[in-house]
């Protein structure tokens, strides 16, 4: 579960992020990750409702509609270790070399990696604020 009203960031090329755009899933993470995803575009701060149930998924580099629907049946928020976005440049080689490592080893071997989330249910969102 995510405790407290957690704050995440979403980078987008959309000037007006609508709740309807969230389905089938909206990726969010640290501010670094959001800025790296869409540099120079729009940045949104997303606050989640307290106590949202989460599930943990492995970042395989692809999020198929089937995988997203399956996760959404289990929880409104999926958490995953983001293996590339937001990493410092000097960590990219280590990330590539450890791409197939289990999350716990990847976390040890790749400095700067952080979790991201996929919001699977718009009701989990308390607030979306456009920052830039």
Give the whole-angstrom CA distance, residue 45 versus residue 10.
7
SS3 content of the chain, % helix, strand, coil (to 5): 30, 30, 40
Count CB atoms within 10 A of the CB of residue 1.
9
Strands 7-12 and 26-28: unpaired
**Segments making up each domain of the chain, as ranges:** 7-130
Query: Tens place of pLDDT for every residue, the chain, 132 residues?
Result: 554 448 999 999 889 887 776 777 899 999 999 998 888 889 999 999 988 999 999 888 788 889 998 999 999 999 999 998 889 999 999 999 999 999 999 999 999 999 999 999 999 999 999 998
Cα end-to-end distance, the chain, whole Å: 29
Q: Do 33 and 85 form a contact (C-beta atoms < 8 A)?
A: yes
């Amino acid at each position: 579960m995510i405790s407290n009203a957690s704050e995440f960031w979403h980078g987008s090329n959309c000037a007006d992020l609508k709740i309807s755009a969230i389905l089938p899933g909206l990726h969010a993470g640290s501010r670094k990750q959001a800025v790296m995803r869409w540099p120079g575009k729009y940045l949104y701060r997303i606050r989640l409702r307290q106590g949202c149930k989460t599930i943990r998924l492995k970042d395989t580099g692809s999020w198929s509609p089937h995988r997203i629907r399956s996760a959404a049946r289990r929880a409104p928020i999926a958490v995953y270790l983001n293996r590339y976005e937001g990493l410092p440049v000097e960590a990219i080689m280590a990330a590539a070399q450890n791409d197939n490592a289990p999350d716990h080893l990847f976390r040890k071997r790749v400095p700067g990696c952080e979790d991201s989330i996929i919001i699977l249910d718009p009701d989990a969102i308390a607030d979306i604020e456009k920052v830039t």
